[in-house]
A and B are shown apart, each in its own frame.
Chain A
Amino acid sequence: MDRDLAQQGLRESATFDRATIAAIQHAAETGIYDIRGGGAKRKVPHFDDLLFLGASMSRYPLEGYRERCDTDVVLGARNARFPLHLATPVTIAGMSFGALSGQAKEALGRGASEAGTSTTTGDGGMTPEERGQSKQLVYQYLPSRYGMNPDDLRKADAIEVVLGQGAKPGGGGMLLGQKISERVAGMRTLPQGVDQRSACRHPDWTGPDDLEIKIGELREITDWEKPIYVKIGASRPYYDVKLAAKAGADVIVLDGMQGGTAATQDVFIEHVGIPTLAAIPQAVQALQEEGLHRTIQLVVSGGIRNGADVAKCMALGADAVAIGTAALIALGDNSPKHDEAYRALGSAAGYYDDWQAGRDPAGITTQDPELASRLDPVLGGRRIANLIRVMTMEAQIIARACGKAHLHHLEPEDLVALTIEAAAMARVPLAGTSWVPGQGQL
């Protein structure tokens, strides 16, 4: 069809393409901006723009499947009495009960526990099911403080102070009324069915000096047992990481713009923040300059899909990664088997992003009991564990090929970039050259 139109001499505007036209018409018809789930859909420089330099004559590879390539990671040993010991650097990112069904949260906990890694709560507090099924649970401490209480704080294995997320650095949260069920409303002390707003700033501290005091309070309340993470949405990671380190973080979570959200304005998702690839080297540089790289662990999230992405994050200096959207896909999000149901909602498999609407036919991003019951948390947990294992093994395959006996031994020297943009952002040479564009520049 498009070819026929082109042959007639018709030409579609690159500026006003069909998606743009639809957005303008939607705005004109409704008077309200588009709210959706997921992360940035625009194409940005990403891990696919990097390649590993496998060993040959000048480097000595390890024997695949025979020689050890360790994957364990310790998170939060800087100050906490009980840091997290994970078997794999692939962790589950923070996602709330409310945004996700109870079954989905339980599945994430089951899968993470089976794979020897951690999972994370979200806005709205901790559910007993999640705590019960998660051997290592990170408790998010968010601006809204919905559901926040000291009992759950003490039950957590680590505390993550959330300053922002990659999908919307500088923005607060929202959860539309369709998902504010009686239970969700009760946990958040909200009227049932309201469109819930979450603040974008913490209510009782402002700036890094205050954050240092806040972290001190959290440590005092939990008797210095728990690692304290600080999560930032990637915008100015060099400065933000330095300030988080100064404030006393044990672990810094860095979320790039491809990181998902349960519900955010499309304009925010697509136009605020920087790509994950661009954020990591800045964060690592900040930690290195403070002499705290590897002392403070760096967890990277935002568009992590497979073991290659994991290995590339490790090579750029991350200690671990967190997956969110990939985990939901593992549970069945956007599966072709739901295509008919997605089309009934005006979407299609591969396109579905109405996570805010609560009508998810896969039973993941919903509070509808019937829809949620479609997701078997035991089977879902197994699928999550499978994905984490595959990602870990894939990363090991690459690490061994680079001659590395631990994923953390991967280094920028193992990487080259396919594009000038990716080379400049990742600070590795353009493939086939020794040219690192912008080297020496922040």
Chain B
Amino acid sequence: MAAVTEGADVLLPQGDVITVDLAHSTVRELNAALHAPDAAERASTWLVTSPEGKHSLACGLDAELTVEIAGHAGYYCAGMNQRATVTVDGNVGVGVAENMMSGSVHVRGSASQAAGATAHGGLLVVEGDAAARCGISMKGVDIVVGGSVGHMSAFMGQAGRLVVCGDAGEALGDSLYEARLYVRGSVKSLGADCVEKEVRTEHLDELAALLLRAGRDEDPADFRRYGSARRLYHFAVDNAY
């Protein structure tokens, strides 16, 4: 391993691991290195040490990179990810994998608010809990949370799947469009226009596949499904608030 430090751009043979120690390098240097056209060729894995809760780590990636962050990350970790595989061995701040398009982000700890916000694609796994507004305005991403999610999760969710292995807080799926929600534990309350729906075979199948991708061993049969009643799709006096 070699440390990439300011002014010392280290080129390593293909297949090696490049370590970026944020105690000595800046976030800008890290992201610039990860954005470089040859970033995937330079190393099989980019290891980020001493993240110390810094913001915007590994954001805007657009290559088949493997990035491992050894510690806690701040806001917008892996934001707008495309194609890369990012693992955080710690907790993450607000907006992890926000607007992700593809690839995967795996958080071994818990996530703050707005995890996976507005994300269009890819897979976000949070092994611990996710706070309020998990999956807010989600647009196609798959999110699997090993623990519980906070209030207003999947608010205005448009597409994609949110799987909660624990409990869901208040107003789950408020003003939902077409996102599909699966919750194994209790739901404190459903938001406006969110209703429980029948779990059919195709739902068990897609849930099993999602859990498998996320490395989970829960039984799909233990989950309940929630979705949009589609009563808010058109303005009308009877559904005004």
Contacts and interface: CB of A to CB of B under 8 A. Distances in A.
A22 interface: no
A205 B113 CA distance: 9
Contacts, number: 109
Contact of A220 (B27, B94, B113, B232): B27
A140 to B, nearest CB: 14
Interface of B is mostly: loop
B178 A220 contact: no
Contacts of A150: 60, 62, 80, 82, 99, 101
A230 interface: no
Interface in A170-226: 174, 176-177, 188-191, 194-195, 197, 199, 203-205, 210, 213-214, 216-217, 220-224
B75 A145 contact: no
Interface residues of B, number: 45
Given A149-B101, A203-B114, A203-B117, A220 B177 contact: no
A32 interface: yes
Contacts of A285: none
B59 A220 contact: yes
Interface string B113-143: 1100110100000000000010011011000
Contacts of A217: 55-56, 59, 75-76, 79
Given A176-B235, A221-B59, A224-B28, A199 B158 contact: no
Interface string A315-359: 000000000000000000000000000000000000000000000
A216 B237 CA distance: 42
B60 A221 contact: yes
A287 B60 CA distance: 31
A176 B82 CA distance: 32
Q: Of residues A35, A153, A177, A189, which shows the largest number of chain B Cβ atoms within 10 Å of its Cβ?
A: A189
Interface string B202-241: 0000000000000000000000000000001111110010
A150 B237 CA distance: 38
B140 A199 contact: no
Given A203-B137, A220-B28, A145 B178 contact: no
27 contacts: A31-B237, A35-B235, A149-B99, A150-B60, A150-B62, A153-B80, A177-B233, A189-B139, A190-B177, A191-B233, A194-B234, A195-B233, A197-B175, A203-B98, A203-B117, A204-B76, A204-B117, A204-B136, A205-B75, A213-B74, A213-B94, A216-B56, A217-B76, A220-B60, A222-B60, A223-B32, A223-B35
Given A150-B80, A204-B98, A221-B56, 11 more contacts: A150-B101, A189-B159, A194-B234, A195-B235, A197-B175, A213-B76, A217-B76, A220-B56, A221-B80, A223-B31, A223-B32
Interface of B: 27-28, 31-32, 35, 55-56, 59-60, 62, 74-76, 79-80, 82, 94-95, 98-99, 101, 113-114, 117-118, 120, 133, 136-137, 139-140, 155-156, 158-159, 175, 177-178, 232-237, 240
Interface of A: 30-32, 35, 144-145, 148-151, 153, 174, 176-177, 188-191, 194-195, 197, 199, 203-205, 210, 213-214, 216-217, 220-224
